[in-house]
Structure 1
Amino acid sequence: MTPLEIRHTAIEATMARFRGRPFAWGKVDCAKVAAFHLKKMGFKISISKAGSYSSALGAQRAIVRMGYDTIPDLLDGLGLTRIPYSRLLLGDLVVADGHDGIAAIGIYASNGHVLGFHEDHLDQGLVAVDLKPDFAWSVL
C-alpha cells in the first residue's frame, strides 16, 4: 500500500469503530481514538500503563502514570514528528484545547477538518470539526 492508502485505510477503520459511540472518559475518548488510529497505522501502542479513568482529572493522572506531563509530551514521547499546521496530511494527529482543562487529540481529515469529539455533539461520537490546532504531528 502507498502511504496515502495506509492513511486512508486507518481513518476509515477509526471512523467505523468510533462513529456513533458517545464520548465516555476512559472508554470512548480522544486518547482511545488516537491509540486505535496509530495501531492501524502500524505503531506499537501500549496504553495499559495509563490504567483506567472516568473523568478529565483521571485522564490527566493517566498521562502522568505513563510518564508524561501533557498530551503533547506523550505524542512526542511516541516518536512522532512535530510539524507545522500547514504540512498536515490525511491521518496526522493534532492537539487543541479540549474539555475540562485537558487537551484534545484529533485526526486530520483534510481541508481544515479534524475528526474528534465536540462538546456540543458528545452523544454522536466521532465527528468532523473545523479547528486550527495548537500542535500537529506527522504519523508517517
Structure 2
Amino acid sequence: MGQVSGTILRREGWELRLAAEIRAWEGRAFVWGAADCLGFCRATARAMIGTDPIPDLPAYASEIQAAKGLVRLGFGSIADLIDAHLPRVAVALARRGDWVMGDAAGALPGAMGVVTGRQAVHLAERGPVRRPVLDAEVAWRIG
C-alpha cells in the first residue's frame, strides 16, 4: 500500500481484487453486522487498498444495535461516520471502487454501495443488486 501526502493509494492489481471481492458476495443474504452494506463496502476497500478505512467499529447484530453503536461513537448516521474517515466527492465524479449511498431496489433505504462503472453494487436481502451510480445521493473516495 502506498501513501502520498496522507492519501492512501490503491494497490497494484486493485481492479482484479475488487471484482473478486464483489463476486465473493454474490448470493450472500443481508445480515446485520455480518454481511451488511457497510461490511460489504469495507471488504471491497480492504481488497483495493489493503486496509479498512473505518476500523474499530463495535459489533452489532441488528439495526438498533448499529444505531446505538454509532451514537456511542459520537455519530448521528452512517454518513457522519464515513465523513469522519473518507473524503466526499461529487456523485458524478465517483469512480470504480468508490462508495455511494442511496436507495436501491431490494436494499434498505440509504444503502451503501460500491461503484463498478456506471452502476453501483448494493447489498440487499438476497445479495448484491445493481443501481445507476447517478441515482446515489452521496459518494466517498476510496484510495
For normalisation by structure 1, the TM-score amounts to: 0.77
Greater RCO structure (CA 8 Å; 6+ sep): 1
Residue 44 of structure 2 corresponds to residue 41 of structure 1: no
Please give the residue correspondences for 1:95-114 in structure 2 after superposition, counting only pairs within 5 Å: 95-97=101-103, 99=108, 103-111=110-118, 113-114=119-120
Please give the residue correspondences for 1:80-91 in structure 2 after superposition, counting only pairs within 5 Å: 80-91=86-97
CA distance in 2, matches of 1:130, 1:15: 16
- Equivalent AA in structure 2 for residue 91 of structure 1: G
CA distance in 2, matches of 1:25, 1:85: 26
CA distance in 2, matches of 1:136, 1:26: 22
Instruction: Provide the residue aligned with 1:128 in structure 2.
Output: 130
Percent identity, aligned pairs only?
24
CA distance in 2, matches of 1:36, 1:28: 10
Residue 75 of structure 2 corresponds to residue 72 of structure 1: no
Q: Give the Å deviation of 1:61.
A: 1.8
CA distance in 1, matches of 2:10, 2:59: 32
Q: CA RMSD in A?
A: 2.6
- Equivalent AA in structure 2 for residue 18 of structure 1: W
> Of Structure 1 and Structure 2, which has the larger fraction of its residues in helix?
1
For normalisation by structure 2, the TM-score amounts to: 0.76
1:35-91 per-position Cα deviation (integer Å, ceiling 9, x unaligned): 1112122234464442222x222222222233322111111111x211111111111
Residue 97 of structure 2 corresponds to residue 94 of structure 1: no
Instruction: Provide the residue aligned with 2:59 in structure 1.
Output: 51
CA distance in 2, matches of 1:108, 1:96: 12
Aligned residues between the structures: 131
Q: Give the Å deviation of 1:94.
A: 0.6
Secondary structure at 1:117 match in 2: strand
Equivalent residues of 1:91, 1:108 under 8 A apart: yes
